[in-house]
A and B are shown apart, each in its own frame.
Chain A
Amino acid sequence: MIELSLREVTKRFHRGGEIVCALDRVTLDVPAAQFCVVMGPSGSGKSTLLHLVAGIDAPTSGTVIVDGRDLAAMSDDERTLLRRRRIGFVFQFFNLLPTLSALENAALPLQLDGVRRAEAERRARDLLGDLGLGDRLDHRPHQLSGGQMQRVALARALVGDPALLLADEPTGNLDSRSGEEVLALLRETATVRGHTVLMVTHDERAASVGDRIVHLVDGRVGSDTTTARAAAAR
């Protein structure tokens, strides 16, 4: 089953009177439960691709289909609900709300969705426990290490049991040990929980945990390869 599909997607920006083409007729299919890594140098269009998939930006042309639905045909509210219920998002800088505890941050999408606070926090607590943060539930972000913050962010992304997990340079702001821990968790997410993962990175080592690596060069797909790990698994 195809979880995510991009058809001839182009994105152009106006910048300083010039038109910059961030993505140029990109076509990409990601099947369910695949861990797909998008790599490329700065400005190659990887973040733009992620934003288009998340529905927080719209393509200039082409079609983006997530969870079987064409994003362009949906209203802003529908796209928001899709993000809330079917997509998890992990950022480079964690983006936790500073005033909320780890537990509250993790429970946020459920609470936004109207799940009762006790129920939302119960589910968040279980998940944080699984991610090794059972003793950090009441800590605020500034009381946590980088790796711990990224795990809270991961819990927030996973708490609604999404079909698709988007990760934007999730190890970019972590030391190598914490980075490896987070990558292992992402890997587990795809393998054990069966979530589809789309991760953007420019770190070769990070990319190696994926099933497939798509290289973007100047907004186009330069190469699309299966990783050794995936080949071995096959």
Chain B
Amino acid sequence: MFYNIALYTSLAIFAVGLVYRVSNWFRWKVGPEAAGISSSARVSAAAKGIISTVFSAKIATLLRVFVLDVLLQLWLAKKDFLRWLAHMCIFGGFILLLLMHGLDRFVTSVLFDYYSTLNPFLFLRNVFGFVIIVGLGIVFYRRLLLKAPRPKTTVVDFYAIFILAVIMISGFVLEGTKILSHSIYQEMVEEYSGLGEEEVEELRALEAYWVQGFGVVSPDVKGPFDEKILKQGEELHEMSCASCHSRPQWAIISYPASWVIRPMGLFMDRTNVHIGLWYLHFLACFFGLAYLPFSKFFHIFSTPLYLLVDGVMDEVESDPANMATRQALQIDACTHCGDCTIRCSVAVAINEIPNPNILPSEKLAAFKALLAGRKLNQKKLTRIQEGSHICTDCHRCTDVCPIGINLEKAWLELNERLAQRGYPKPEAWAREAMAAEFDLANLKEKPISLTPVDKAFASALVDSGQASTFSVCFGCQTCTNVCPVVGNDEDPKAVLGLLPHEIMHCLALKQKELAIGSNMLWDCVTCYMCQEHCPQGVRVTDVLYELKNLALKQIKNRAA
């Protein structure tokens, strides 16, 4: 009863999640192609596209992609053999285990004369499980010991591995406790042996045989046993049990596992630990099932589908509605493998600017949140904006993505969406925010207070070797006179606010707001004319650079 409720609940959650995830492929609008195409148009275009593809010569391409890229994942093998091996172990082992063991009622018993206690099923269950354990072992080895370049293992990755590990371990320990269990042995004897309670001698002989050879822990029957008794037990076993119970030693993982827990065997049997383990095992499976559409595991659907779609679609010929759907599917096909981040040209900056949105693998999650229309507060949007603009458009992430996601395109779109929501390139943002706040034109009439001094600002200026050079400025205005930006306008003060030499004065007066509020900062072309020609060696351009750093930090902190 409980089992069924849990099963159907998790199936229902899975179905809802599946519908939600699939609907995203038709709802998300990625790229200019997607504008103006409704979701229903995309659904019907997809249906048409699928039908016309399946009944065309393209079916051969689909089959080839399915075998080589989806089933055998050859692209991964070429890239990194160890990763491919881990992937195949987990993927292959899990699918086989699911079909043979998880869905035994629907698959195995239909096709074969099936007893879970009989070989080859008993043995294969352990073999498949072992294969998964090997796969998980490689994953741990790569991440923890080999320290394969992989800057981020997030909670998402951890959950996926954790659930799988719980399913596997609980399964093996469960089988181990059942091997030891005297009560389960008793149940089987009552049901299958045909021996009555009065046949004490036979019962003892059979039990002795199972204790000696099959690892059952009996409360009263203990060895060493007489040869004769064992012989009698063996005969009884052959007669009543062997036809549907293979030797537990064939359970190549669970049997050794039973040896480890053997000292606690009697206690565990009495306290029905195996029932608890059974609950843990199937609940973990059901939880995994329900969680699947919301987790990284969903890539077992989205990635193969994207590979298939990508194999038969064509930028030029395909229906624009289907191209829009492909774009959305592509974003959803990310497996969070982190290859993009490893190859990212600016990823190193994260050591100084701790914002995960700099890394493409994490930035994509932010992009998905925006696509899904999730409500994001100012702080989060500012973080995404910062990360999104620390990117040199070098295209490496797109080049390296194993499934061919066009990330470059996604970043363009992300910047576009951020700008629409009022979060443009940070420099442009800062320029506006600062200018709006410190209206320099009006300040002409206003007395400027020289106290109190912003001590943090004053000491920051002194701490920086290059910024502190402002202190030797003697006001000759050479910097302003050689500045091509100043020279570009009839009335530079109106456009720029403060001119370079005036900014140096502001620093001497510790006037932070004035210094970082000037448009001059953001219009500086960094041509270094001022610095080159300064007779005093003031590093004017570098001072402006540092002021820009400061201004950006200030508005970032304010948003936080």
Pair from one complex: no
- The interface of chain B, by Cβ under 8 A from chain A, is none
- The interface of chain A, by Cβ under 8 A from chain B, is none
